[in-house]
Chains A and B, each alone.
Chain A
């Protein structure tokens, strides 16, 4: 292999404007969300080591490299969350409705899990299984306390299986509709398993009211080509933490799409890991934060094998007082992951005053023998000059605003490649726009 040390650092344009809460001319005011604690305390301040011992997770002291983050199935291994931790510093813990305090002062996830209804093409199976099913744990290990609590607490899991060489496409989508059963904190577990050379689309459609901590395991075997779309279109009072663990086999492809629309607090943490060479991961995200909503997306792409590719594109629109979106994109290219090709991008469009977007791409590269690695992040305000330009061409103000927002988000929607779903999401964006003052 030729040695390639090319690292494309695309210029990231960060807007810092006075009206964005927590932003100053100098940059981010980090202690805004959990004010009783400082951003530089806690785990983030610990000396970090790139030594072999600290990698690969496991039980130990986390360091500031993403590789060193604690992973465990056991809730007891995770210390209580203070809000100081790097991965909790943006989350308003008080609004998690106790999902972060399971095991403390008798807090339990004892509510009813969402009811699962499925529609499947012939050949795809959906099973409800007990905790002891051997397939549980095949794609992921919890990486935070909330996910570990869900792992310990769920009573039954739903397993979707695409059999080997199953030939699915955009016309025979598997859909799980997950309807929340109220505001008692609950846990749920889903496994999506695409066997060798299977292709297909699986949609998780979350709706209703729930206070839910969920683990989703996505196991993509060698040569499979799977699209997973996770839609969170809950009622306004829902709280949902969803850890989505994706494990990709040799020469497999996975497209993972997160759509965060409805709910009071959504925290989606997809992680993609490679189990063989030549695999490709595409991660897309679309979010629309309204007044008071907290929509947090934290991604991790862990390049640990050779010649794999990853592409991350997340786009969000924000409107209204205290609409808050968080996007964290961690990409780790380990020493052995030669030939990696990686790029991640986040764009935010702030439509009104009083909204806030935090966007943090993190790239750790431990080998120079890669094809490319880059990231870009930009957060922009809806521009009055754009509005003037469109209006000066006869386009009414409300139409002009929608035109800009629709165009902005469409870039992600058109990547889903499932016509029925694309139409629904366009309608959802339309509804978000109509419900606003725009």
Chain B
């Protein structure tokens, strides 16, 4: 079993108005085999947490720690984190002209595993994974995310999740912008990765909709850069009914 441990994390970004703190002391422990949902209103810091775990250069960690089985993640470069077993499914995957999906996937797999995948089984694996996510075969020869629709981009993120087999997957609003059919396909993919075993999942979402398909054991509610409430799957049901107003009112009252 592996453990991803986030302790009292403070993160800020530089804006035109100066330095703006976003995360104000977040602590969270995820073990492989667990699925955690992070929910919260816009601007509460959910995506900042995702990007900080992956090592996006825009975010500055002011204090606190992130460790993976005791190893200091914050000292690792972005690619070292990925090779250590962290995966971020991006909210807005970027286009990379001139690099085909085939080439990209093979290069990434080689980097993660430290050796080139065996050609025959790899090609078969990629084809099977694409078929399960209902990605047309010709996408393999297209450039990474180039001209993909929003739903196609998200399906390709989950394709990478299934092929790269990380220890921990952070899914940053993978559900946003998907219609119900696409949401089902994507959720099935995530569930396959979870069922394959050995994966810890951090599911970041604004809506409860995806939680009908992917069942978390733990739910954390983010408000203004801290965890306002934690609970089991039942907390998600309550949020579906009540929304985030409760937390926002409390915040106003204390302000």
Is B94 in contact with A383, judged by CB distance below 8 angstroms? Answer: yes
A14 close to B (CB within 8 Å): no
Q: Which residue of B lies closest to A393 (CB)?
A: B108
A395–B99 CB distance below 8 A: no
B132-150 at interface with A (beta carbon < 8 Å): 143-144
Which stretch in B82-90, B178-186, B212-220 binds the other chain?
A: B82-90
Q: In the bound complex, do residue A390 and residue B96 qualify as a contact, i.e. CB atoms below 8 Å apart?
A: yes
Q: Which residues of A contact B143 (CB under 8 A)?
A: 407
Take A393-B164, A395-B108, A397-B79 as given contacts and tell me if A388 and B99 are in contact as well, using a CB distance cutoff of 8 Å. Answer: no
Bound-state CA distance A384–B78 (Å) is 12
Q: Are A388 and B78 in contact (CB under 8 A)?
A: yes
- Decide: A410 near B98, CB < 8 A? Known: A393-B82, A394-B111: yes
- B94 near A391: Cβ-Cβ < 8 Å: no
- For A408, give its contact among B97, B112, B144 (CB under 8 Å): B97
Known: A385-B94, A407-B97. A393 touches B56 (CB 8 A): no
For B, the interface residue count at a CB cutoff of 8 angstroms equals 31
Q: Which residues of A contact B (CB under 8 A)?
A: 383-386, 388-397, 399-400, 403-404, 406-411
User: In the assembled complex, how far is the CB of residue B93 from the closest CB belonging to chain A, in whole angstroms?
Assistant: 7
Q: Is the CB of A394 within 8 A of B57?
A: no
A406 and B96 CA atoms in complex are apart in Å by 12
Flag whether B54 is at the interface (Cβ < 8 A).
yes
C-alpha spacing A389/B104, complex, angstroms: 11
Once the chains are docked, how many angstroms separate the CA of A403 from the CA of B143? 12
Q: Which chain B residues border A390 with CB–CB below 8 Å?
A: 96, 104, 108
Residue of B nearest to A378 (CB): B97
Residues of B within 8 A of A (CB): 54-57, 77-79, 81-83, 87-88, 90, 93-100, 103-104, 107-108, 111-112, 143-144, 160, 164
Which listed residue, B81, B94, B97, B111, touches A389 by the CB 8 Å rule?
B94
B56 / chain A contacts, CB cutoff of 8 Å: 388
Contacts of B96 in A (CB 8 A): 386, 389-390, 404, 407
Q: Contact between B111 and A399 (Cβ–Cβ < 8 Å)?
A: yes
Q: Which residues of A contact B112 (CB under 8 A)?
A: 393-394
A396 shortest CB reach to chain B, Å: 5
Establish whether residues A388 and B97, one from each chain, have CB atoms under 8 Å apart when the complex forms. Answer: no
Query: Which residues on A sit within 8 Å (CB–CB) of B94?
Result: 383, 385-386, 389
Q: How far is the CA of A397 from the CA of B79 in the complex (A)?
A: 7
Query: Which listed residue, A384, A394, A407, A409, touches B79 by the CB 8 Å rule?
Result: A394
Contact A391 B103 (CB under 8 A): no
Contact call A392/B82, Cβ cutoff below 8 A: yes
Residues of B close to A391: CB separation below 8 A: 55, 77-79, 82
A396–B97 touching, CB < 8 Å:
no
B93→A389 contact, CB < 8 A: yes
In the bound complex, residues from chain B placing their C-beta under 8 Å from that of A409 are: 98
**Does the CB pair A408–B111 fall under 8 Å?**
no
Q: Are A399 and B107 in contact (CB under 8 A)?
A: yes
Q: Complex formed: what's the CA distance from A389 to B75 in Å? A: 19
A79 to B32, CA, bound (A): 77
28 residue pairs bridging A and B, Cβ less than 8 Å apart: A384-B57, A388-B54, A389-B90, A389-B93, A392-B78, A392-B81, A393-B108, A393-B111, A393-B112, A393-B160, A394-B79, A394-B108, A394-B111, A394-B164, A395-B79, A395-B108, A397-B77, A403-B99, A403-B104, A403-B107, A404-B97, A404-B99, A407-B97, A407-B98, A407-B99, A408-B98, A409-B98, A411-B98
* B97 to A: closest C-beta gap in Å: 6
Name the CB-closest residue of B to A315: B98
Give Cα A408 to B103, complex, Å.
13
Complex contact B57–A388 (CB within 8 A): yes
Q: Whole-angstrom distance from the CB of B100 to the nearest CB of chain A? A: 8
B54 touches A392 (CB 8 A): yes
A404 touches B98 (CB 8 A): yes
Please measure, in the bound complex, the distance between the C-alpha atom of A90 and the C-alpha atom of B94, giving whole angstroms: 34
Contact A403 B77 (CB under 8 A): no
Interchain CA distance A409-B57 in the complex, whole Å: 28
Residues of B within 8 A of A384 (CB): 57
Q: How far is the CB of A7 from chain B (nearest CB, A)?
A: 24
Residue among B54, B98, B108, B164 with the highest chain A CB neighbour number at 10 A: B98
Cβ contacts under 8 Å, B81 to chain A: 392
Question: Taking A388-B57, A389-B93, A403-B103 as contacts, is the C-beta distance between A396 and B79 under 8 angstroms?
Answer: yes
The distance from the CB of A13 to the nearest CB of chain B, in whole angstroms, is 12
Collect the chain A residues with CB atoms within 8 Å of residue B83's CB: 394
Chain A CB count within 10 A is highest, among B55, B81, B97, B104, for B97
- List B contacts of A396 (CB < 8 A): 79, 111
- Do A392 and B88 touch across chains, with their CB atoms under 8 A apart? yes
Taking A394-B164, A410-B98 as known contacts, 16 extra A-B pairs with beta carbons closer than 8 A to each other, sorted by chain A number, are A384-B57, A388-B56, A391-B77, A392-B78, A392-B81, A392-B87, A393-B82, A393-B112, A393-B164, A394-B83, A395-B108, A397-B77, A407-B97, A407-B99, A407-B100, A407-B143
CB distance from A410 to the nearest CB of B (A): 6
The answer for the CA separation of A256 and B86 in the assembled complex, in Å, is: 48
User: What A residues does B57 contact at CB under 8 A?
Assistant: 384, 388
In the complex, what distance in Å separates the CA atom of A397 from the CA atom of B56?
Answer: 13
**Chain B neighbourhood of A389, CB < 8 A:** 90, 93-94, 96, 144
Alpha-carbon distance between A389 and B51 when the two chains are bound, in angstroms: 11
Bound Cα distance A399, B77 (Å): 14
What's the minimum C-beta distance from A161 to chain B, rounded to whole angstroms? 38
In the bound complex, CA of A409 to CA of B98 (Å): 8
* CB of A407, distance to nearest CB on chain B (Å): 3
List, in ascending order, chain B residues with CB within 8 A of A399's CB: 107, 111
